[in-house]
Structure 1
Amino acid sequence: MMMMKMMMKSSELVVFVSSVLCVSAVVLHEDLHIRGCSDSDGEDAYTLDVEELWYADFINKKGVYPLPSFFSSFRYNEGTYEQAVADQQICRSNLKNSRIGMKDLPEENDAPSSLIIYSRDDLELGQKNTLICHVAGFYPAPVKVHWTKNGENVTEGTSINVPYPNKDGSFQQISRLEFTPQQGDMYSCSVEHPALEEPLTRLWDVQVQQPSVGPAVFCGLGLTIGLLGVAAGTFFLIKGNECS
């Protein structure tokens, strides 16, 4: 299956092509190759079940495997990055032709329909973790994501994956923030998109429940009172039998 999306933003036209490489009647895994370009930028990435396996870093001129080494030892053939560079030339040629053919078409924008923020792992104060900001349902791609901590902008430890196409033609993206939770800290994830008049923001605060002995104490107290009641009842029953 091949899907092509042509997107206009101001005077810039972006062409995205994504190929579904592994599909069956019962879908076990979805393997996508995402390729895109604009006048000033480009991207080429492979994903598996929404996880980004490899992408071309055209700034540093190399291919990058963003997942930790323990996740997968799989590696693409040598020359994958060089092929991505060659594909960019084809993409820009298609871009030029598309701009001519679409010059009179109205611009299309869909604002994000979903924005959620959550932690990757269970929270433990003082233990490193990752906040995930997931935005979905927007068109065209990409979005811009900004993080704050206690009202201050945060850039260190942040990352964002390439736009991932949904089956309805919209996109989703995930931004991550490496952080160490401390009780009471407040984080926010803000998303900018051409279809939004102002950034869409979600807040997330560190709330770790401290261990409580209250229920155990009350349960223990109730059990003790119950046992005393049984003992008292038994005592008076025995005494009553002795008197009769």
Structure 2
Amino acid sequence: MTLQELFASMHNVRIYELCHTYGCYDSSDTQLCVTLDGEEVYHADFKKGVLDWESKIPVVLHVPHAYNYAVYYRATCRGDLLRWKPDKSAATKPRKAPEVIVYPKDEVIKDEENTLICFINHFFPSNINIKWTKNDVEVAVEDPLIKCLPNPDGSFYVFSTLDFVPDEGDIYGCTVEHVALEEPRTKFWEADMKETTIGSDVFCGLGLSLGLLGGAAGIFFFVKGKHYQAILVT
């Protein structure tokens, strides 16, 4: 049991993991993302010079000057890239093909807005292409690089989402292209008004982050490396 877990058990608290991730690339700009319990809070858009906050995060929670810290880490990351460039270990690491599942976030009700989630996991390297189709017609293409996050084993995972309005019989597809795949991999999801969603079990919504606002007697942060853990006293 870690010190944080022991503290939680003794003081009736809940533990949240706030993770700050950034990566450097020869072929593109630095990618920086902050997540809470695996769900994105914001990522940096260095081309526009802003932070792109998750739409469900209230504006009042947008941290002032956070973009300035992103710029600092961008400079640090570029320095690290130059220092670590001679290391060729990543180039020899075995490729891993992605695992793909698709599911709705909320209960499927005809004509009510919903969100499809494509969870792509355990792939390496991180370069990956994602596109969505509806009844075999392409409806969205996403650049997931800014959202790719590392697993403990060195592979990556990413969530891609598509807003939609369910209609009986519509078939949606999430297609993934990756260097470890001989051909693109597609997972389909068909609108079924009788379906019971698994979204609440698999996809932890950002409503969890909003819980940080309620009934807090105090917040304690434990910092280790690039990972931040927040403990909320209830």
The answer to which of 85-94 and 57-66 deviates more is 85-94
Q: Give the structure, 1 or 2, with the largest relative contact order (CA under 8 Å, sep 6 or more).
A: 2
How big is the shift at 1:142?
4.0
1:110-137 CA deviation, whole Å, 9 max, x = no partner? 111x211011111111111111000111
Q: Is the aligned partner of 1:182 residue 2:170?
A: no
Letter in structure 1 aligned against 2:80: N
Paired residues of 2:108 and 2:194 also in contact (CA < 8 A): no
How much is the aligned-residue C-alpha RMSD, in angstroms?
A: 2.7
1:109 paired residue among 77, 80, 95:
95
Quick one: structure 1 residues 188 and 106, their matched pair in 2 at CA, closer, same or farther if it must change by over 3 Å? same
SS of 1:87's partner is helix
Aligned to 1:204: 189
Alignment of 1:1-244 (within 5 A): 24=5, 28-39=15-26, 40-69=28-57, 73-76=60-63, 78-102=64-88, 106-112=92-98, 114-155=99-140, 162-209=147-194
SS of 1:100's partner is coil
Quick one: structure 1 residues 43 and 194, their matched pair in 2 at CA, closer, same or farther if it must change by over 3 Å? same
Quick one: structure 1 residues 144 and 180, their matched pair in 2 at CA, closer, same or farther if it must change by over 3 Å? same
1:84-106 CA deviation, whole Å, 9 max, x = no partner? 12322221222123222328952
Letter in structure 2 aligned against 1:130: T
Paired residues of 2:177 and 2:183 also in contact (CA < 8 A): yes
Please give the TM-score of this superposition, normalised by the length of structure 1.
0.67
Quick one: structure 1 residues 57 and 200, their matched pair in 2 at CA, closer, same or farther if it must change by over 3 Å? same
Please give the TM-score of this superposition, normalised by the length of structure 2.
0.70
Q: State the alpha-carbon separation in 2 of the partners of residues 62 and 122 from structure 1.
A: 34
Letter in structure 2 aligned against 1:204: W
Q: State the alpha-carbon separation in 2 of the partners of residues 104 and 162 from structure 1.
A: 20
Residues matched between the structures, number: 185
1:5-28 CA deviation, whole Å, 9 max, x = no partner? xxxxxxxxxxxxxxxxx9646783
Q: State the alpha-carbon separation in 1 of the partners of residues 165 and 90 from structure 2.
A: 50
SS of 2:118's partner is strand
Letter in structure 2 aligned against 1:36: G
SS of 2:147's partner is coil
Q: State the alpha-carbon separation in 1 of the partners of residues 5 and 152 from structure 2.
A: 15
How big is the shift at 1:190?
0.8
Letter in structure 2 aligned against 1:99: K
